[in-house]
Chains A and B, each alone.
Chain A
Amino acid sequence: MAEHRIQLGEQLISCKTDETLLNALLRENVNISYGCQQGVCQSCMMRSLDSPPPSESQHGLTDKLKEQSYFLACRCYPQQAMRIGYRDHTDFVTYGTVSVKQNLNAETILLTLDIDNPFEYYAGQFVNLQRDDGLVRSYSIANNSINRKQLSFHIRRLAGGRFTEWAHEELKLGDRLSVSEPQGLCYYQSGKSEQPLLLIGTGSGLAPLAGIISEALHQGHQGEIHLYHGSRDINGLYWVEEMQQLADTHENFHYSPCVSQGEPASSMLAGRANDLAFKTLSDLKGWRVFLCGHPDMVNNSKRQAYLNGVSLADIYADAFHVASGSLD
């Protein structure tokens, strides 16, 4: 019986033509999560790293997952040799050289890397950055995908955060970092240009949203675009003037900086960004929504956006979880 060679990391597995990839992996005692084995629960989702997976193995996945060659192992009968990865698999694909480092506010820096080998990505995705001793953290790309040679990041200092403190204090122009392939499903896709967009971000959650807005405007997005950027106090906001200027020059872009504690400056709103957004925009049927930043804000907002009428498939979210090792 014919077999196909499957590579998963360092491990080689042969998959018979009449068995699913999931069964082959289980037979070889690969530790993989799975559930219904019927292509419904999506627990066994994996990613093909070298070739498009068989189309029936992508049945039921969102377009954004299909595009990135995700597939369900329980529905996959390999047609050829495959190199596959776990759902969160990352490869460091290139290096970047620090070319810009400046303060955005008291706790956040803008870091720009000149990329050795530019790669394709969608505005809103993130990459992993790795220091030469192996320390890795994820950061959202803050620019659009038109100029791929430079990637910018907003790095907020976390008390005791090993990577962020190092980036703030010691990282300097000319230093080199490893950069992973782009990841994440919270990104702007062209098409449906008339669809209104709502973007809500807290703190450095502005980074991916700024990239998405820049991309959308560059691609001539026609629908209304509403950005609510929130922070506890004025000092946590940044790019206020830049976003205001963007709103002044683009009729369909609307910017609302929000401050949840203390007195807001004039032209700022008092309250939480998500509360204000959902109160003002109570009927969101047909909208596309992007949510980035504090995990509680993101989770609450997903629910509220959905209750306000947004389809689940139109909710894009990226919760910024603090790496558990940060406080070591």
Chain B
Amino acid sequence: MSESLFDQLGGEAAVDAAVDIFYRKVLADTTINRFFDNTNMEEQAGKQKAFLTMAFGGPNNYNGTDMRQAHAKFVKMGLDDSHFDAVAGHLADTLKELDVPQDLIDQVGVIAESTRNDVLGR
């Protein structure tokens, strides 16, 4: 059996390294940072970690309904494909910065993409 995507990426340590870079990019992006509550950085970072763990193919209990509910208020605020694309772009840039091979970045991109309709409430 081949090594899982999660293990190829470096497991939980890789997630931690990625969260630190990824979340900084998201918060610094003025086109999307209004969607990210900054009153509780730890909780926010925890959510990013859960998301990245899922996108890395790691252990998760991804639930489309929860994802819809969590993002419903942002959809009302105008959350759309352009914002989703921006976040997905920051994720890919983060992995490039960490020298992750392109074929693995593509696999992460596919998993992240699979959440698009739930996030955007479609």
Which A residues lie at the B interface, using CB under 8 A?
36-38, 40-42, 59-60, 299, 302-303, 306-307, 309, 311-313, 315
- Further 16 A-B residue pairs, CB within 8 A, beyond A36-B50, A38-B60: A36-B61, A37-B61, A38-B59, A38-B61, A40-B60, A41-B46, A59-B12, A299-B41, A302-B41, A303-B27, A306-B24, A307-B27, A311-B20, A312-B23, A312-B45, A315-B41
Q: For residue B28, which residues in chain A have a CB less than 8 angstroms away from its CB?
A: 307
Contact A299-B39, Cβ < 8 Å, known A60-B12, A306-B24: yes
Residue of B nearest to A299 (CB): B39
Q: For residue A40, which residues in chain B have a CB less than 8 angstroms away from its CB?
A: 46, 49-50, 53, 59-60
B107 within 8 A of A: no
Task: Tell me what chain B mostly uses at the interface: helix, strand, loop, or mixed.
Answer: helix
B4 within 8 A of A: no
Which B residues lie at the A interface, using CB under 8 A?
12, 19-20, 23-24, 27-28, 38-39, 41-42, 45-46, 49-50, 53, 59-61
Q: Which of A36, A41, A306, A309 contacts B41 (CB 8 A)?
A: A306
In the complex, what distance in Å separates the CA atom of A60 from the CA atom of B49? 11
Q: Which of B27, B38, B49, B50 contacts A299 (CB 8 A)?
A: B38
| Distance of B98 from chain A, by nearest CB (Å) | 14
In the complex, what distance in Å separates the CA atom of A307 from the CA atom of B53? 22
Q: Is the CB of A312 within 8 A of B38?
A: no
Could you show 11 A-B contacts with beta carbons less than 8 Å apart? A36-B50, A40-B49, A40-B59, A42-B46, A59-B12, A299-B39, A303-B38, A303-B41, A307-B24, A312-B20, A312-B41
Residue of A nearest to B47 (CB): A41
Q: For residue B24, which residues in chain A have a CB less than 8 angstroms away from its CB?
A: 306-307, 309
Instruction: Give me the 9 closest cross-chain CB pairs, A-B, nearest first.
Output: A302-B41, A303-B38, A311-B20, A312-B45, A40-B50, A307-B28, A38-B59, A36-B61, A312-B20
Q: For residue B50, which residues in chain A have a CB less than 8 angstroms away from its CB?
A: 36, 40-41
Residue of B nearest to A306 (CB): B24
Q: For residue B60, which residues in chain A have a CB less than 8 angstroms away from its CB?
A: 38, 40
The CB with the most chain B CB atoms within 10 A, among A60, A307, A313, is that of A307
Q: For residue A38, which residues in chain B have a CB less than 8 angstroms away from its CB?
A: 59-61
Residue of B nearest to A42 (CB): B46
| Distance of B89 from chain A, by nearest CB (Å) | 18
Residue of A nearest to B28 (CB): A307
In the complex, what distance in Å separates the CA atom of A38 from the CA atom of B63? 14
Q: For residue B42, which residues in chain A have a CB less than 8 angstroms away from its CB?
A: 312
In the complex, what distance in Å separates the CA atom of A313 from the CA atom of B39? 17
| Distance of A284 from chain B, by nearest CB (Å) | 12
Q: For residue A302, which residues in chain B have a CB less than 8 angstroms away from its CB?
A: 41
| Distance of A231 from chain B, by nearest CB (Å) | 24
Q: For residue B39, which residues in chain A have a CB less than 8 angstroms away from its CB?
A: 299
Q: For residue A37, which residues in chain B have a CB less than 8 angstroms away from its CB?
A: 61
The CB with the most chain B CB atoms within 10 A, among A307, A312, A313, is that of A312
Residue of B nearest to A43 (CB): B46
In the complex, what distance in Å separates the CA atom of A60 from the CA atom of B61? 17
Q: For residue A59, which residues in chain B have a CB less than 8 angstroms away from its CB?
A: 12
Q: For residue B12, which residues in chain A have a CB less than 8 angstroms away from its CB?
A: 59-60
Q: For residue A315, which residues in chain B have a CB less than 8 angstroms away from its CB?
A: 41
